[in-house]
Structure 1
């Protein structure tokens, strides 16, 4: 990714970390401009482009190759769900070798079927437009670093507000008892180190379990795995570990 590591050094020889590059996709011009202006002054973030709809978001992301796309879901021509799915289904680069960008959904309403669907399509998390810009910026940084933005209570409400799909939401390859336990802890928003502490196992063991969970569920990331867990009824709102 373009903003994922040191790219230069200062005169004293200390590494300089490249900023996280961001594409803002929203059909409202005022919102796009505001986000671009506010995010551009946040430390470690560089907004390198804008898009007014889902079609443009995919085109611009593939051309500019940002680290993160801040994606509205209710857009014309192609909504944020389909744009997310298309971006994450293939390469973001013309040569076919670059990893796709991470996607953070930005929305006005947290109880939104569009958001749930975008998370199911592989978005790494969501933020609300009303949040202070420093929190949106932090979400961008966290996702760029390979983590997921989880709001367990809100995610649980969103998913279970729809009819549960039950056991068919889970793949045929059954999770082990320990993997189910790890998935439930993931659904509470715990990080890998916190899960390791909770289960009294090593961090490497947790990473192995998380990797197995994602593979067996066919999930693109932790957030997608948690959505599947809620949809299947394996995890219920209010679960606290």
Structure 2
């Protein structure tokens, strides 16, 4: 058996709107033999919002568990924890609007959408890079149907259309990369967003979505394989 070499990625994303930085996101990804862990912290000027989110995925890129916490206007809007099993999703949440909520949804979700942009790379993993030009519906669970992800904060079912477009050379503030491009359609009545991710781990590079005016780009990216995440080298 070939030994697995862990991979660790870290990055920073700026959310540009009309060439102004409207938000920021720091993330870290640890890839292990038994899956991966993803962590993210976001700040958005629009809505005065901060978001902490984390995921665990299995070796087949399916969600195992996840957590999201949103603070808006200086007050906690909600916090939710998700667990995935064979044919179901469980969620325990505490929100300002609904209090304590316990849910169990039927279905075999392949993606958990918690709204940080690094998480869009996880749906690229679920879609894969075969059959370019073909849209596939990815059975998913999200914390919010809102564009900025600040409402509900419970478990909501959603089917997301994802098309693999192909490879492109792309330059962002973090550098120039050969990236995989995907088109993502979160709702049938919304135009698709364009997503670029890097390598076998689908590390976020850029997302452009005319519908919201967002052009989010990586401004820092680093990869390592040691005991310390590259985020601590900055």
Normalising by structure 1, report the TM-score: 0.23
Q: Which has the higher helix share?
A: 1
Bigger-Rg structure (1/2): 1
Higher relative contact order at CA 8 Å, sep ≥6: structure 1 or structure 2? 2
Normalising by structure 2, report the TM-score: 0.23
